[in-house]
Structure 1
Amino acid sequence: MTAVAEPEAATAEVVPDARQRTHWLDGVRGAAALFVVLHHMWLGSWPFFPEDRGPVWLGWLLYGHLAVAVFIVVSGYSLALAPLRHGGELVGGLRRFIRRRAWRILPAYWAALVLSMLLFVTLIEPSTGAGTATKSFVVHGLLLQDVIGNVAPNGTFWSIAIEWQIYFLFPVMLLLALRFGMVRVVLLTAGIVLVAHLLAGTDTVLSKINNVSPQFLLLFALGVLAAWTAHGRAPRPPRWALAGVAGASAAGLVTLAVAQGSPWMVGHWFWVDVIAGTGFAALLLLLSDSRSPVRDRTLGSRPAVFLGSFSYSLYLIHGPLLALAEEHVVEPLDLSPLAHFAVLLVLVLPVVLVACYAFFRLFERPFLTRRDFASLRTLPAWTLVAGRGRKRAAAGEELPVYR
């Protein structure tokens, strides 16, 4: 896809480290994924959502939804880095971009869908009818679970559909940004998202607009703007202003949570996400400063980057694993809520992390290191199967033919 560069940014240069992997972003992803896991452990211990009946000092775990807002902002930021290396253009156009995005997220997602569905219909909700399960499987397989009603086999899959749909709008954002500037694109996106939210408040078929969480499109655009700004294609606000926006966002969320209560917050996710996403985009821009030793010692540390390396797999399958542990291990112990949470934290969480890492090695990592089906043939498992086939052929055994 080609586009006309905006005149004022035609000579802008990308900072030298734009071509290198931004490891600290993995730390952000890992922290957000772990927050979601802790949130679901909290829900299993105090199952009164959206009411907060747990200890005050654990009340922040009720808001695991905000981690999804973080993921969306980070997605916008990280996906903007590659075009920024080429003057803001999406090299290869829409087809290449969608193909690469599909190769990145769909294999692990589909594997997680199969695993989640099997666990759901056999161990978690065995009373699920065949028709219901089939519809859910097809809807989720097509990434339409946010627009078609279904029974969810995995509570985290809803956000994958939303992000996938946003991908198709990303090239449009880039085209408009190169023509009019990214700041104007964000303002335009904000206007469209606000109108969509207002229409969703009407007593018509348009009320279903909120099912696709339109605010996440704005958060994605804010992430793109943060990358655009960090690499010199938009005016960079002073650090004190960015810190002020991030601090005001955090203070505003805490104030609302205390003054209005968690049911109100959950009932107003649109505005809560917008506030949180704006603050996090400002924080992300602050963190993008190469002179950030604190960032490198925390988010860029080896444990944080390692956790972030399989954060997608952790996000995808921790839900059914926790549900199994809840139903078959922890609940029979009949513990107090706090003891229930402690058992999940100390005993179950390490097992879940190991299982998710194993899932990552099997179903996600091969598609990170290999970019097409031909290169998948170099996988040890494929080589092993192919080797057995050659031995069988040499022995004169007839091999099956797949068409």
Structure 2
Amino acid sequence: MLTLAPPRTAPCTDSGTSAPFAMGTRESGFYRHDLDGLRGVAIALVAVFHIWFGRVSGGVDVFLALSGFFFGGRLLRNALLPGASLAPGTEIIRLVRRLLPALVVVLAASAVLTILVQPETRRETFADESLASLGYYQNWELANTASNYLRAGEAVSPLQHIWSMSVQGQFYIAFLILILGWAFLFRKLLGRHLRTSLIVLLTALTIASFVYAIIAHNADQATAYYNSFARGWELLLGALVGAHVPHVKWPMWLRTVVAFIALAAILSCGAFINGVEEFPGPWALVPVGATMLFILSAANRMADPHVTSGRMPLPNRVLATKPFVFLGAMAYSLYLWHWPLLIFWLAYTGETRADLLTGAVILLVSGVLAWLTTKSVEDPLRYRAPAGKPAVTVPLRVRLRRPTIVLGSIVTLLGVALTATSFTWREHMTVQRANGKELSGLSSRDYPGARALVNQARVPKLPMRPTVLEAADDLPQSTIDKCISNFADPSLRKCSYGSVAATRTIALAGGSHAEHWITALDLLGQLKGFRVVTYLKMGCPLLAERLPRIPGSGEPYPQCFDWARAAMREIVADRPDYVFTTVTRPKDTQPGDVMPEEYMPIWQTFADNGLKVLGMRDTPWLVRDGEPFFPRDCLADGGGATTCGIDRSVVLGDVNPASDLPKRFPLMGLLDMSDALCRDEYCRAVEGNVLIYRDSHHLSATYVRSMTPELGRRIGAVTGWWP
């Protein structure tokens, strides 16, 4: 994930002496070793905050800024030189040699650990993200996950951290095309004004990206976090500073003050700013701006290479010493290793976070693996002597380990094997989905599902359906038909189910917890002669809260309030016979469920307009140790129907918290299907040979189908439409 830089000159001579300060290429001896040290500090912050605090440190933003400075600044300066050679192929080869070998090694190791440690249900996600990581679009894969309510509650991926590498890889290619293309097209036309035109262009792009980041952050922060366009300004700003920094001169006292302030801001950023919620918005200016200031604090040395390192600000001299430069040298591999090791350890132990000792061991193992990867994979495949020159511009230790055909072949074969395995597993899952299409036709005698609880139906000994691999795709038809708006879609989508020509209508309205009843309502509509019209948005129940948050994740969801108002206006105008929606939610930090006060204005609006309501008690949300719990993962890991369930008292109160609503709103009838989901004391993962949940809180369509008779009986009792 870290910054791209040209080949190195000789390393620092001793731990107490600052390495020569320089700028540009290491071949020329003109390089900033203090920024290598800063990179090492940043990766240490990333790892420490990930392992012990579960927070974002701002180190990734430092990396992005340094990447723009090293790669973008160098490329921009070279493009502006009269008669400079424009060789994009050379730059791309440099990128491949720098970035891919260590990535392939870590991905291959993670694939093995996924098979050994994680349940089978996680393999498809890993395969998708492996391909996304190798293809450098992992950030968009995660953005899709963040905006996809069907996957939003999944366990954290061991490859999640590679999103930032994808952003940088996309920036490298886009910046390369932009700069070389602009220089090629306009060098002769603009002549000495080429530099000015490029600076103006990049400044405009930086401002546009920053403005877009603010807009995207306010609209959907979870998705914007991974958005390349919203992150572009961080790298572009580094490139702009890289182009200007040789021309900056300021007094020593000011540079020292700036260096201390900048380093303090970088070190403290994670403690004072919750980057998970605030980035890439305006608060990202803190780590990025501090990085730019730290770069500029030693600008005098860049402008005048004869200035001695001893006259550099103290923070710069400290970070240019051997320990920090050594840490910076293996920062890329350390970043790659620390996150998967943490995630696999948590998956293996079932813990939610690492304690001090365990975290230290994870960090130590990550460091050892990073050093081995840097020494044995990165350096040999990255460095080589320039054509026609003796190999004196690279360290002796590197010259003794030049890239070999054997090592390159091994890394290539690992990449091919990983790609082939990922595609093979995805094909296997396609076959599983094809088999899953038969779920709608399962025999009610063999797979009684909810009838085993409600009617004490006999349960034969047969394999559970849907299987753990089928469960995630056992979706309601409205999801398949795209009749539910996703997080980023503000539109109101209306679809009809049941008996579409019937005169009686039930409006199914709210979020996905109202939606998963469509399977039973559709069947009942066809059998009993009523139409079901959907008004649905992911994660958005009908509520009057102006600043709602996504249920389960707590992410801000301002779009939900606007959508709910639009849905209410439409429902009132359509005047259905009944509105079917959820009337309760789980408590945030305590056992049981609650009827939120934010729902009351909704019921009042329906009452004021004479609309009848079928209020469904919400489905239990399965949570363990404060994290979503997936029964399918537990079952795939060898658990049973009971051990992969949860105590009823944890997820449901003794009394329906909405039980008093009909007294205040006589047009409301309550529906409570809890006894069709849970036994008296326990909610199991499987009933009647049917898996109840497809994730941690959405019912499988197959189980909802098995509840159709009981739901019909209860709706009939409330509406009087049938006995």
Task: Please report the TM-score for the alignment, with normalisation by the length of structure 2.
Answer: 0.40
- Confirm whether residue 223 of structure 1 aligns to residue 246 of structure 2: no
Label 1:272 to 1:250 Cα distance change in 2 as closer, same or farther (>3 A).
farther
Counterparts of 1:333-348 in structure 2, within 5 Å, are 340-345=355-360, 347-348=361-362
2:61 matched residue in structure 1: 69
Does the 8 A contact of 1:121 with 1:128 survive in 2?
Answer: no
Label 1:243 to 1:299 Cα distance change in 2 as closer, same or farther (>3 A).
closer
Per-residue CA distance 1:323-351 (angstroms, 9 max, x = gap): 344555795xx9xx8x9224423x44223
Identity, % of aligned positions: 23
Per the TM alignment, residue 22 of structure 1 is displaced from its structure 2 partner at its CA by 2.9
Distance in structure 2 (CA, Å) of the matches to 1:32 and 1:155: 18
1:113 matched residue in structure 2: 107
Gaps of 5+ in 1: 1-14, 44-48, 50-61, 386-403
AA aligned to 1:266 is V
1:357 is matched with which residue: 342, 361, 371?
371
Per the TM alignment, residue 241 of structure 1 is displaced from its structure 2 partner at its CA by 7.3
Structure with greater helix percent: 1
Secondary structure of 1:146's counterpart equals helix
Per the TM alignment, residue 301 of structure 1 is displaced from its structure 2 partner at its CA by 0.8
AA aligned to 2:51 is M
Counterparts of 1:39-188 in structure 2, within 5 Å, are 39-43=49-53, 62-64=55-57, 66-79=58-71, 80-81=73-74, 84=77, 87-88=80-81, 91-123=85-117, 125-148=118-141, 149=144, 152-171=157-176, 172-173=178-179, 175=182, 178-180=194-196, 183-188=199-204
1:24 matched residue in structure 2: 34
AA aligned to 2:59 is A
Distance in structure 2 (CA, Å) of the matches to 1:197 and 1:230: 26
Secondary structure of 2:363's counterpart equals helix
Label 1:91 to 1:29 Cα distance change in 2 as closer, same or farther (>3 A).
farther
Distance in structure 2 (CA, Å) of the matches to 1:305 and 1:256: 22
Does the 8 A contact of 1:33 with 1:67 survive in 2?
Answer: yes
Distance in structure 1 (CA, Å) of the matches to 2:251 and 2:214: 33
Distance in structure 2 (CA, Å) of the matches to 1:76 and 1:29: 13
Secondary structure of 2:355's counterpart equals helix
Per the TM alignment, residue 39 of structure 1 is displaced from its structure 2 partner at its CA by 1.1
1:192 matched residue in structure 2: 208
Label 1:238 to 1:223 Cα distance change in 2 as closer, same or farther (>3 A).
farther
Residue-pair matches, total: 337
- Confirm whether residue 316 of structure 1 aligns to residue 321 of structure 2: no
Label 1:132 to 1:73 Cα distance change in 2 as closer, same or farther (>3 A).
closer
Label 1:203 to 1:144 Cα distance change in 2 as closer, same or farther (>3 A).
same
Which region of structure 1 is more displaced relative to structure 2, 219-228 or 175-184?
175-184
Distance in structure 2 (CA, Å) of the matches to 1:155 and 1:17: 33
2:295 is matched with which residue: 268, 275, 284?
284
Pair member with larger Rg: 2
1:382 is matched with which residue: 387, 393, 406?
406
Counterparts of 1:251-270 in structure 2, within 5 Å, are 266-269=276-279, 270=281
Structure with greater strand percent: 2
Distance in structure 1 (CA, Å) of the matches to 2:350 and 2:215: 44
- Confirm whether residue 271 of structure 1 aligns to residue 282 of structure 2: yes
Distance in structure 1 (CA, Å) of the matches to 2:321 and 2:228: 33
Distance in structure 2 (CA, Å) of the matches to 1:88 and 1:278: 28
Per-residue CA distance 1:10-31 (angstroms, 9 max, x = gap): xxxxx98642243222211111
Label 1:366 to 1:118 Cα distance change in 2 as closer, same or farther (>3 A).
same
Per the TM alignment, residue 165 of structure 1 is displaced from its structure 2 partner at its CA by 0.6
Secondary structure of 2:120's counterpart equals coil
AA aligned to 2:119 is P
Label 1:250 to 1:355 Cα distance change in 2 as closer, same or farther (>3 A).
closer
Per the TM alignment, residue 159 of structure 1 is displaced from its structure 2 partner at its CA by 0.2
Distance in structure 1 (CA, Å) of the matches to 2:263 and 2:369: 34
Per-residue CA distance 1:302-342 (angstroms, 9 max, x = gap): 111111111110011111223344555795xx9xx8x9224
Per the TM alignment, residue 208 of structure 1 is displaced from its structure 2 partner at its CA by 5.2
Does the 8 A contact of 2:234 with 2:288 survive in 1?
Answer: yes
Distance in structure 2 (CA, Å) of the matches to 1:22 and 1:183: 23
Label 1:143 to 1:112 Cα distance change in 2 as closer, same or farther (>3 A).
same
Per the TM alignment, residue 35 of structure 1 is displaced from its structure 2 partner at its CA by 1.0
Gaps of 5+ in 2: 1-20, 146-155, 184-192, 302-310, 387-398, 410-723
Task: Please report the TM-score for the alignment, with normalisation by the length of structure 1.
Answer: 0.68
Per the TM alignment, residue 183 of structure 1 is displaced from its structure 2 partner at its CA by 4.9
AA aligned to 1:302 is K
